A and B are shown apart, each in its own frame.
Chain A
Amino acid sequence: MTIAKIEKLDRLVEATASARDARTGSLWRQSIRRMRRSPMAITGAVIVGLFVVVAVVGPWVAPYDPTAQTWGREVFLNQNIFPGPRAENWFGLDHLGRDMFSRMIVGARQTLLVGVVATFIGFIAGAFIGGVAAAAGTFGGRWGERCEAVIMRAVDVALAIPMLLLALSVAALLGPSLRTVMIAVGVAQIPIFARLLRGSMLAQAHSDYVLAAIAIGVPKGRIVVSHILPNSLGPVIVQATLVLATAIIEAAALSYLGLGNPDPGSPEWGTMLADAQRFLSGAPQLAIYPAVGIIVTALGFTLLGEAMRESLDPRLRRQE
């Protein structure tokens, strides 16, 4: 009799315990679970997903060749009054009589490429610099502290230069090309990533579990790589998502200033925006399409980044 009742007790305990399974799994998995419930993350993910799909399959689904001046004659005859949206050209035509819709779709790839590569450059170089500085400062003794100070002062100097100016200088050095835009925007992001990772790592370096690792006798290099670094990456990854948005805008700005890809054969949203500038009063739609494209994409990445920041935030994590 009693035994049967105790079984009931076990069942009841299990029933209440299973209501709490939200706390199981690794922290990464928990973050993903939280993101799946966030409307912000879903909106951002949908936008970004759509953008990436378009960027990947763009050239194959574009209804026309984005570089062919198919309706050039029509535009010329109309004395630069460009036809707006119509059945065969959903977004209308540009000043050379090319299909805007196709150009937008194919241009997405370039835009994504610029954003991703630039962010990647900034992330890798910045994280390396910041990581080395933090590791040296934490475990390098007196010398390490000095190295850290020198590196970080250099980073501070770089931070003090306006990003666009830095990008412009790089672009001026390398000449206008897509590669230039990527490198310029990427280099401008390096100090941000460096500072962020260093700060994040220093905070972790003073945590109890790092002290515990030292007490166990874990070698310094291993402490940095297996304890401090994985726990410091959260904010940096969030920043990378946010930087992707900025990088796309920056790249557009550089292209707009004429430092982007001079090759008319590969459309790019920033260059399209720059080209549209001349016809802004007569045909604002030419500027609106790429501008909206850039804004919505940047918004998508920003939403995703913000949602990630929230789901990785340790203060929120504890409350769950």
Chain B
Amino acid sequence: MALLEVEDLRVAFGASTAVDGVSFSVDEGKVVGLVGESGCGKSVTSLAIMGLLPKGRGRRTREPVQAAAAEPVDSGLKVAASAPQAVAASGGRGRRGGADVQGRAAFDGTDLLSLSPAAMRRRRGKDLAMVFQDPLSSLNPVVPIGRQITEVLERHRGLKGDKASKEAASLLDRVGIPDPLRRLKEYPHQLSGGMRQRVLIAIAVACAPRLLIADEPTTALDVTIQAQILELLKDLVETEGTALLMITHDLGVVAGICDEVNVLYSGRVVESAPVRELFRKPTHPYTVGLLGSIPRLDLPIHEPLTPIRGSIADVIRWRDGCAFAPRCDKVAAPCVDGEPALVGAVHAHRCVMAEEVA
């Protein structure tokens, strides 16, 4: 059985649907990617699993907004979510109204979505942990990083005083921060972006969680630093057997680190496959389009790119047809004939024209 099994996850903010029935699973020691562009629901998915979305069933609703137009929803959330403590602490921070979360996210057999906030708090940090995109706003600016690490150690592992400090230092060493004893006394602003992300990872792995969720962990970093962080994450998965759920928009990162990939579009998985399979034989036109949009260093120079036309605002509702249809070059009559299903087992896709396209 998989460590994390997400089934038919749905998240709505008022009348706007951000995640529209997403299912996937993560095995121990595996890296699973959730890939997509802004507004596809990948971040909301991860926040829902972590129980970090402001709960607000029955709150006042805002005017209806379509799923893909939820780009602002996504970015707005990122702002709120970048400080994990703050989000966790506030039931309904901001005036967005809460999120209506449905479906199942079974972690080792327990449905995380049905846990009480207190029970979820106990698990968070210990069984499952999260690393955010913006390391600066995820750290408390007025508390030395050492204190921020030992706090977690105290709460979840009962370590105190010297023992906790020693453990904190060894964690910093583990994530490749030189001179960890000195660093413990420093404040987040004294560290570089890469260092901060390492500290966040150190905090996340402090209790040896079985599942680590990384939401665009390298997007804010330079390529050379990104390479360092990716190496570190890979190493964690290999040596500790941690399961990693990697949320990213970068197919290069996916190719480098993931074992399985789920491509999201407008709140649904449109293609899901083992990584080599996906890149060797991308099936959904959206995946194909994404791959065609990326300039590559290993291809002949000035090879023309084949972009996807339109923008994520050109979208239709999934129940009317394929949400990607308005931007798809292969669009045909069956594409707007009701909900397309996810077909296939190992390599699944949500395209009714797949046979014809191939």
Contacts and interface: CB of A to CB of B under 8 A. Distances in A.
B18 interface: no
A9 B321 contact: yes
Interface string B72-108: 1101100000000000000000011000000000000
B316 interface: yes
Contacts of A61: none
Interface centre among B76, B313, B333, by most A CB within 10 Å? B333
Interface stretch (B60-68, B257-265, B287-295): B60-68
Interface residues of A, number: 18
Interface residues of B, number: 27
A8 B69 contact: no
Interface centre among A15, A316, A319, by most B CB within 10 Å? A319
A44 to B, nearest CB: 17
Contacts of A318: 72, 75-76
Contacts of A13: 314-316, 326
A2 interface: yes
A16 interface: yes
A263 to B, nearest CB: 48
B134 to A, nearest CB: 16
Nearest to A318: B72
Q: Is the interface of B mostly helix, strand, loop or mixed?
A: loop
Contacts of A12: 316-317, 320-321, 326, 336
B225 interface: no
Interface in A263-320: 316, 318-320
Interface string B130-156: 000000000000000000000000000
A9 B72 contact: no
A128 to B, nearest CB: 35
A8 B316 CA distance: 11
A86 interface: no
Given A13-B326, A17-B313, A19-B65, A8 B336 contact: yes
A22 interface: yes
A13 B309 CA distance: 14
B316 A9 contact: yes
Interface string B299-319: 000000000000001111100
A6 interface: yes
Contacts of A2: 332-333
B338 to A, nearest CB: 11
B66 A9 contact: no
Interface in A1-52: 1-2, 5-6, 8-9, 12-13, 15-17, 19-20, 22
Contacts of B72: 318-320
B325 interface: yes
Nearest to A1: B333
B335 interface: yes
A20 B65 contact: yes
A22 B66 CA distance: 12
Nearest to B63: A22
B320 to A, nearest CB: 5
Interface in A148-194: none
A153 B163 CA distance: 53
Contacts of B337: 5
Contacts of A19: 63-66, 69
Interface centre among A13, A17, A22, by most B CB within 10 Å? A13
A17 B316 CA distance: 9
B313 A5 contact: no
Nearest to B325: A9
B221 interface: no
B69 A9 contact: no
Contacts of A8: 336
A9 B65 contact: no
Given A12-B321, A13-B314, A319 B332 contact: no
A320 B337 CA distance: 31
Given A2-B333, A12-B317, A20 B69 contact: yes
B230 interface: no
25 contacts: A2-B333, A5-B332, A5-B335, A9-B325, A9-B326, A9-B335, A9-B336, A12-B326, A13-B314, A13-B315, A13-B316, A13-B326, A15-B316, A16-B66, A16-B68, A16-B316, A17-B314, A19-B64, A19-B66, A20-B65, A20-B66, A20-B313, A22-B65, A316-B95, A319-B72
Given A16-B315, A16-B317, 14 more contacts: A1-B333, A5-B332, A5-B337, A9-B326, A12-B316, A12-B336, A13-B316, A13-B326, A16-B66, A17-B313, A17-B314, A19-B65, A316-B95, A319-B96
Interface of A: 1-2, 5-6, 8-9, 12-13, 15-17, 19-20, 22, 316, 318-320
Interface of B: 63-66, 68-69, 72-73, 75-76, 95-96, 313-317, 320-321, 325-326, 331-333, 335-337
